[in-house]
Structures are given as structure tokens and as C-alpha cells.
Copies of this chain bind each other. A is one copy, B any other.
Amino acid sequence: MGMEKNISLGDYLYSPELLKRLDFGKSPAKFNPKITAANPGENWMIVRPLRRSDFDKGFLQLLAQLTTVGNVSKSEFNERFTQMQQSGGYYVTVIEDTRYSRIIGAATLTVEQKFIHNCSLRGRLEDVVVNDTYRGKQLGKLIVVTVSLLAQEVGCYKMSLDCKDKLVKFYETLGYTLEAGNSNAMNMRFEEPS
């Protein structure tokens, strides 16, 4: 399964060991200069799983740069964190600026269990955001490649994402494709998010 739900994780959402195993040589992404999750290019930067303590390091404020978050209390955050940990399959990954103890980038891999393809696993990329004051450090590319390699590491047969037109080229450079005749993302909305 590759889902690390039964081991002791401290306040990590998933095992930080998983990120150490990633081989950035497998990705078609070009980094210049070369950086990886283990060596993100600055000694004050770290790529790691989400921690409970990230509530106090601006994780939700960072997500609010992406979309509406609303007033999520610390107990609501902890409850959702616990639910994700118990369910398994949630790999929320962040970049911290350790100088200021602030979360400056995030992306989520979710892993769906299937019956098809020999009870396979399908990964999905969700909620990618990088603090826009940190442009030029390849952090968007870094966080997406990190969770994409993580999908392969935990055994997914494919990784999927939905994106806006303006981001298609970016994701193509990272190995994602619009498959001919089969690349429509449709939605039905039940209510406006508050």
C-alpha cells in the first residue's frame, strides 16, 4: 500500500523518510541550478511533510493565496489533520523558510485506492501554492516534482491534475500531458464555498 498510517509519526502527517528516497533524476523537469527536496537550494529552506505545528507557521495563510480558506480554528485544523492521518493517502507537503518559521510553499498528493489495474493506486496533485514573494527560486517546480515523485514512490500507476489553460505548458515541462481525446475536467458545484 505504501500508506504510512500505522507507524509513529510524531506531528508529521506522513513519514519524512519517504521524501529522502526520491530520485529527482527520474523527473523530466529541468532545474537550473539543480535543486531537490533534500537540497532545495538555500540552507534556510526545508521540504517536508505537513506538521501540526504548521498551523502556527502560516500554512493556512499560504493556502489563502490560492483560494478561500475561511476561519479555520486550531482545533478544526487538528481535527482535519487527524482525519487525514487516520484515512491514509494524504501527503500534504510543504516548504518552510526556517529563518522566519513560515510555510512558503505547499502541494498535496492524494492517493485513491482502486479495484481496477490489479487494485492499483491513483495519485492526484492538489492545492499547489508558493508564496509569491519567493519567485525565481523554482519552488513551484520543486514542490510539484516532489509530490509527483512521491506518487511513484508510494506505488501509484499514474498521477493526475486539473489545471487552468495558462498552467498547461508549465506542467508539460514536468512530464504531465493532455491525452488526446481524454483531457476534459468537468465539475458540478453544489454551493459557493464560504
Q: Does A18 contact B (CB under 8 A)?
A: no
B76 touches A119 (CB 8 A): yes
Contacts of A187 in B (CB 8 A): 158-161, 176-177, 179
Chain A interface bracket (under 10, 10 to 19, 20 to 34, 35 or more): 35 or more
A171 touches B159 (CB 8 A): no
Contacts of A184 in B (CB 8 A): 162-165, 167-168, 178, 183, 185
What is the chain B residue whose CB lies nearest that of A129?
A: B116
In whole angstroms, what is the CA distance A76 to B1 when docked? 12
In whole angstroms, what is the CA distance A176 to B80 when docked? 28
**Which of A31-39, A87-95, A134-142 interfaces with chain B?**
A87-95
In whole angstroms, what is the CA distance A17 to B172 when docked? 44
What are 29 A-B pairs at a CB distance below 8 A? A1-B83, A60-B115, A70-B118, A71-B118, A72-B118, A77-B115, A80-B113, A80-B114, A83-B113, A90-B113, A112-B124, A115-B127, A120-B193, A151-B190, A157-B189, A157-B190, A160-B186, A161-B185, A161-B186, A162-B162, A162-B184, A165-B181, A167-B184, A168-B186, A172-B186, A176-B186, A176-B187, A182-B185, A184-B185
